Amino acid sequence: MPTIRDVADQAGVHPSTVSRVFSGNAKISDETRARVLSAAQQLGFQPNAIARSLSVRRTETIAAVVPHVFQGYFEDAFFPQVMSGLLDAAYPRGFRILLSGSNSHADEITQMFQILGSRQADGIVVLSTRLDVDTVGALRRQSTPFVILGRPVAEYPDICWVDTDSERYTAECVRYLINLGHRRIAYVGGDPEVAVTRERQAGYQRAMDEAGLPVNPNWIVYGYFAENGGYRAVHHIKEIGETMPTAFYAANDLMAIGVMRALRELDLCVPTDVSVIGTNDAPEAKHIFPALTTLRVPYAKMATKAAELLIDAILSDEPATGKAYIPSRLIVRDSTAPCKTSEV
């Protein structure tokens, strides 16, 4: 491949001049520019991005490491929406996305620090939700900017994150059910180790408390974000001899779909007998029967905002700052209806 030196020779100028016409911002006479450009054209020259990166200490790349996760991760709405959002922010700013895989949660962290330490990217958006205090602390101690998608459990003043207010919006969902007359409402959470599971649970608890409704511990079940987990949650409640709740809030749509499958087996009709609300507004939510009422979480927007904050930080040569909540929205479809009965 031709280098800047080949072009310089061909055009009869110094390599630095060639560099100047390609980096754009320097003053170059029209005549010189034309000579350089035509020489470059003839030789098929394109500047080597790696050499440029080394010199300017910027790669115009932001990184993300893809979490090591449950089977079906790539069937969920989260990943593609996040990618879409990152590209939306990066592309118009001339940045690209560098993706790394990982094969365990520990390796995920390793990969992050690898990319950061080896300066393979100018910044990183952290997709992992399970950052412990150590990891966040280590992230702050290094100098490459980062922003976390999801509020980390440890609150540092100077950390940058973007999230949706899970507690608040789950509370809104549960309030919606309560306003429909439901009093026995179940919460089907994801992995209890994950922060968002606890946040949503807190929202559920809050809405129930505010309405003065008792929460039966048996109504709180963890389905680990799997269809099967939602399915089993219903059967679990049934098996321990509990009266069936008249409404379920599930922390993702897959689990909500599992809940509906189990209810069908028990000859309980959705929404006539039981109401169900899911979370995420996955593609299947609107195609399922009955169409699923769900809390739409704006992953793409969150990722866009995260990438914007990150790129701003990179361009200004400062650590990323700012904390942002992006609103979620309840999408009412056909899986929710007024409660038939009013006894507790």
Q: Is 289 in the site for its own copies (CB under 8 A)?
A: yes
Please enumerate in sequence order all residues whose Cβ is within 8 A of that of 172, keeping only pairs 6 or more positions apart, or say none: 203, 207, 295, 330
Q: Is 4 in the site for DNA (CB under 7 A)?
A: yes
3 binds, among DNA, its own copies, none (CB under 5 to 8 A by kind): DNA
Q: Is 272 in the site for its own copies (CB under 8 A)?
A: no
- What are the Cα distances from residue 16, in Å, to 3, 6, 25, 172? 12, 12, 13, 61
Question: Are the C-beta atoms of 112 and 124 separated by less than 8 Å?
Answer: yes
- Kindly state the smallest distance separating residue 44's Cβ from DNA, in Å: 11
**Chain center to CA of 171:** 21
Binding mask 31-50 for DNA (x = CB under 7 A): xxx-----------x-xx--
269 binds, among DNA, its own copies, none (CB under 5 to 8 A by kind): none
257 binds, among DNA, its own copies, none (CB under 5 to 8 A by kind): its own copies
Q: Choose between 148 and 282: whose C-beta lies nearer to its own copies.
A: 282
Question: Are the C-beta atoms of 317 and 272 separated by less than 8 Å?
Answer: no
What residues does 123 pair with on adjacent strands? 62
Q: What CA–CA distance (Å, rounded) separates 279 from 292? A: 9
Residue with tokens 């940045």: 95
Binding mask 69-98 for its own copies (x = CB under 8 A): ----xxxxx-xxx-xx--xx-xx----xxx
Q: Is 94 in the site for DNA (CB under 7 A)?
A: no
**Upper half-sphere CA count for residue 222 (Cβ side, 13 Å):** 10
Q: Is 13 in the site for DNA (CB under 7 A)?
A: yes
- What are the Cα distances from residue 257, in Å, to 142, 182, 183, 228, 325? 43, 20, 22, 9, 27
Residue with tokens 């922010």: 89
Return residues touching DNA (CB under 7 A). Answer: 1, 3-5, 12-17, 19-20, 22-23, 26-29, 31-33, 45, 47-48, 51-52, 54-57
Return residues touching its own copies (CB under 8 A). Answer: 1, 44, 46-51, 53-54, 59, 61, 66, 73-77, 79-81, 83-84, 87-88, 90-91, 96-103, 114-115, 117-120, 143, 257, 282-284, 287-289, 300
